[in-house]
Structure 1
Amino acid sequence: MDRQEPGRWRYRPRLPSLRLLLMLALLLLFATSGDSDLTQLERIQARGSLMMLTVNGASTYYLGAQGETGFEYDLARRFSEYLGVPLEVITLPDIAELVDTLEKGQGDFIAANLSRTVLRQDRLRFGPRYDSVAPVVVYRRGSRRPDNVAELRDGRLALLAGTSYEPLLKSAAPDLSWEVLDDLSIEDLFEMISNEEIDYTIVDSNILELNRRFFPDIRPAFEIDEAQDLAWATLRRDDDTLAQQMREFFQLAEQDGLLADLRQRHYAHLENYEPVGTYTFQRQIRERLPPLRPYFEQAAQDTGLDWRLLAAVGYQESHWNPDAVSRTGVRGVMMLTLRTARQLGIEDRRDPEQSIQGGARYLKRMIERLPDRIQEPDRTWLALAAYNIGFGHLEDARVLTERLGGNPDRWLDVRDHLPLLTQERWYSQTRFGYARGYEPVDFVENIRTFYDILLWMEGRSHPLLAQQNR
């Protein structure tokens, strides 16, 4: 710009750079000639994003406490980083719509727990196998458990649209009848079973595993077929450039442990889950949480933590019982030791408001003491372990983890080494010595489960929580 006179400016256009002219020429070429000559990978790069088609669900994609998450989403996000473009997520109601949308060119690939079946391979090109799951018949706890497909005739069987289970059923029991329900999620089917609106459905084993904590009434009956491979899918055509990138990515993901890491992050804390725990938890949500919830919310506001996380800690510690006392003398909702309470300025550990405030501040202190380089969610899980076992013992476990080739900043690695603190061979090498290293492992994994349930319930406006908020 050139100065003309006080208070006024005159714009003088600059000549475009050679690079800008080249970019404009390329864009004009694409606009006038179309992109038919570009490979699928080149179109993705020209567009500047990778479009993932999926369905909402605990194993695929959903909004969690820290934002977008889900096994499929986390894996796809790493794939988009591998390609050097951001990920764009498009959610659809069911599997059938995923395939239709892909064929319309409104997405690049499907990542939705899709099994690689012969029938689907007529329409889709599958990437590498990244997991195997078995199709499982699900029924309601307390009702008669079916042992085979023939016994499903005695009840109402419902399936989601677009699944691979119908061909299996037609082959196994040609005279069996069932309903296909459109525009419903698998969670809707689980709720219908819980409410006795239907008797059976069929899901993949990993989906059942993730959802049993939310629906304690659902039970596995039997597997209707052998394990099936899960894989991402693109369109079946001559251009396989995206599928080739998938093959390279999954080979690296297997070699560097990414797949194992994501499986652990999303499934490991469910290994020892017992449905009976959810019954008790939901009963206490109704009976004990309401008077304590304002204290959890205020403590969360004061510390910047999530009230649902604090509530999960309080439940794990005392089942939300303000009068709880352990054999070692810790007491109150957050089970504070006398020493910790004094350090935090807590005068009465039995007072629920003081106890919750103290527990929140203590957890915040553990989070802040960890090295800044540790990211979420590992930071929170490690801090919870320190809350339970003490910061010194956690540091001992982290030292052992690093010494034995693990990552001391990663909860899953530290979790595997915490039990070593019970063995003289290892605790004799540490600063703080012996500790019951199994306890913080169970402590953290239980809290993760309770936290997930509270997040899920609030996200669905579950009556148990919604009524408390009125």
Structure 2
Amino acid sequence: MQSKSVAITRRLRLKFKSNSLPVRFSIIAAAMLPLLPLHALTAKKGETQYASVIDHNKLTVVAVKNPSTVFDNGQNLHGFGYDLMRSYAKSLNVQLDFKVVNDNTAALDLVAQGKANIALTNAPMSAIEEKKLSFFSATCGNFSALSQNGLDTSINLVVNNAEDPIAQTASGFTCEAKNDGSIDQLASFYNHNIVEPTAWETVERDLKARMPIYKASFKQEADKYNLDWQFLAAMGYQESYLKSDSVSPTGVRGLMMLTNSTAKAMGVTNRNDPRQSIQGGAKYLDQLLEQYGNIPYPDRAWYALTAYNMGPGAVSTIQSKIEKQGKNPEEWMNLYSYLQKNQNANGRYKQALQYVTRIRAYLEHIQQSSQPKPIEV
């Protein structure tokens, strides 16, 4: 007897119509859903979750906070799974309602109860099938992209009913993303091997020794500009390893490594004063986030970091080149891809890539380290 998750060896191209908006999708080899009877794919408007998503302009996805799915700092979300679902919602031209829940059981229950359209989860197959739910690979079987970047290969998308068109559009989307390289690109950015495993011991030692000294200043400045203090702290660690007397060969200095001109513009009179440096860095970051205010999070944060490192003028130049290529210059994956493809020809691009990806990694590490430890019984 076949499982609900079976390999499909041919491509389907179908069209749905809801609110007069056609949506094309395809099912490709390695997508793990059974072929559907025609009547299931032509359900009347309002009878399927797919129709409900389109009608209400909202896709509800639930997931457990996990290094391979989503990180939540209390203000914004980011992560491989989160970004993948953002792109899927965009392909449907609907808003994403992404909910973070405590555990896989809660996520599966919400799907079973019809309160969520999809669960993004690494729950075991037995737990999914016990609730009579259906699932398929979140990457259309592109496990190598996940494993090479230290991500969980067991991430699946779980739906209530395999015969609901929401299942077909989602699996079709992931397979298209696999074929066009989008999944490889996204996994590359969220690479959890960006910092060598042996280096984390040094990172942890540095944070334990220096973070307590500056934590209050990070929090104070973050509150002033409605920023995430852990984000500021991750920037500070990337810039100077939280050493207030750091100086670079190019003359930037201090805990947040401000240039002389930026320091003056931010009202910093002594770049080696850690409190002033954090104040200046927070103010400058806030200005950059405002500059990219039309870009949604988390992309806005990555744009601001790139500009902090390269300068906003350099980012604008790259955006113009991306636009000339016919791509959206306000999507992070397009900027990231441009930097990645041209890093060998321009050292500044390589430096910017390392800068943003390492801050992301340090941010996630700080977030995880600050979570309460489970009580042993």
Return the TM-score normalized by structure 1. Answer: 0.56
Q: Secondary structure at the match of 1:373?
A: coil
Residue of structure 1 in register with 2:215 after alignment? 293
Assess if the C-alpha contact under 8 Å between 1:133 and 1:206 holds in 2. Answer: no
Assess if the C-alpha contact under 8 Å between 2:140 and 2:171 holds in 1. Answer: no
User: What is the Cα deviation at residue 66 of structure 1?
Assistant: 3.2
Q: How does 1:107-122 map to 2 (within 5 A)?
A: 110-113=119-122
Residue of structure 1 in register with 2:358 after alignment? 446
The correspondence for 2:327, drawn from 392, 406, 414, is: 406
Q: Distance in 1 between matches of 2:89 and 2:212?
A: 43
Cα pair distance change 1:54/1:359, threshold 3 Å: closer
User: What is the Cα deviation at residue 312 of structure 1?
Assistant: 0.9
User: What is the Cα deviation at residue 248 of structure 1?
Assistant: 2.7
The correspondence for 2:47, drawn from 12, 35, 42, is: 42
Assess if the C-alpha contact under 8 Å between 2:139 and 2:183 holds in 1. Answer: no
Residue of structure 2 in register with 1:232 after alignment? 158
Assess if the C-alpha contact under 8 Å between 1:125 and 1:234 holds in 2. Answer: yes
Assess if the C-alpha contact under 8 Å between 2:112 and 2:131 holds in 1. Answer: no
Q: How does 1:5-404 map to 2 (within 5 A)?
A: 42=47, 44=49, 55-60=64-69, 63-67=72-76, 71-72=80-81, 75=84, 82=92, 91=101, 93=103, 110-113=119-122, 125-127=134-136, 130-132=139-141, 209-210=150-151, 230-234=156-160, 240-242=162-164, 244-252=165-173, 254-255=175-176, 264-265=185-186, 268-270=189-191, 272-370=194-292, 372-404=293-325
Cα pair distance change 1:294/1:207, threshold 3 Å: farther
Letter in 2 for 1:42: E
Q: Secondary structure at the match of 1:232?
A: strand
Cα pair distance change 1:306/1:440, threshold 3 Å: same
Bigger radius of gyration among the two: 1
Assess if the C-alpha contact under 8 Å between 1:131 and 1:230 holds in 2. Answer: no
Assess if the C-alpha contact under 8 Å between 2:178 and 2:184 holds in 1. Answer: no
User: What is the Cα deviation at residue 334 of structure 1?
Assistant: 0.8
| Cα shift readout 1:36-66 (whole Å, capped 9, x = no counterpart) | xx99973757898977675443334563343
Assess if the C-alpha contact under 8 Å between 2:139 and 2:178 holds in 1. Answer: no
Return the TM-score normalized by structure 2. Answer: 0.68
Assess if the C-alpha contact under 8 Å between 1:50 and 1:108 holds in 2. Answer: yes
User: What is the Cα deviation at residue 261 of structure 1?
Assistant: 5.0
Q: Secondary structure at the match of 2:357?
A: helix
User: What is the Cα deviation at residue 462 of structure 1?
Assistant: 6.0
User: What is the Cα deviation at residue 443 of structure 1?
Assistant: 0.6
Q: Secondary structure at the match of 2:275?
A: helix
Letter in 1 for 2:203: F
User: What is the Cα deviation at residue 322 of structure 1?
Assistant: 0.8
Assess if the C-alpha contact under 8 Å between 2:140 and 2:174 holds in 1. Answer: no
Assess if the C-alpha contact under 8 Å between 1:111 and 1:233 holds in 2. Answer: no
The more displaced of 288-297 and 249-258 is: 249-258
Letter in 1 for 2:372: S
Q: Distance in 2 between matches of 1:99 and 1:301?
A: 36
| Cα shift readout 1:430-468 (whole Å, capped 9, x = no counterpart) | xxxx7722111111111111111122222x1369xxxxx
Assess if the C-alpha contact under 8 Å between 2:73 and 2:367 holds in 1. Answer: yes
Assess if the C-alpha contact under 8 Å between 2:111 and 2:159 holds in 1. Answer: no
The correspondence for 1:461, drawn from 366, 372, 376, is: 372
User: What is the Cα deviation at residue 393 of structure 1?
Assistant: 1.4
Q: Distance in 1 between matches of 2:180 and 2:156?
A: 13
Assess if the C-alpha contact under 8 Å between 1:378 and 1:411 holds in 2. Answer: yes
Cα pair distance change 1:296/1:46, threshold 3 Å: closer
Assess if the C-alpha contact under 8 Å between 1:398 and 1:408 holds in 2. Answer: yes
Cα RMSD for the two superposed structures: 4.4
Q: Secondary structure at the match of 1:275?
A: coil
Structure 1 unpaired stretches of 5+: 1-37, 136-203, 212-226, 424-433, 464-470
| Cα shift readout 1:275-306 (whole Å, capped 9, x = no counterpart) | 23322221111111111112211221222222
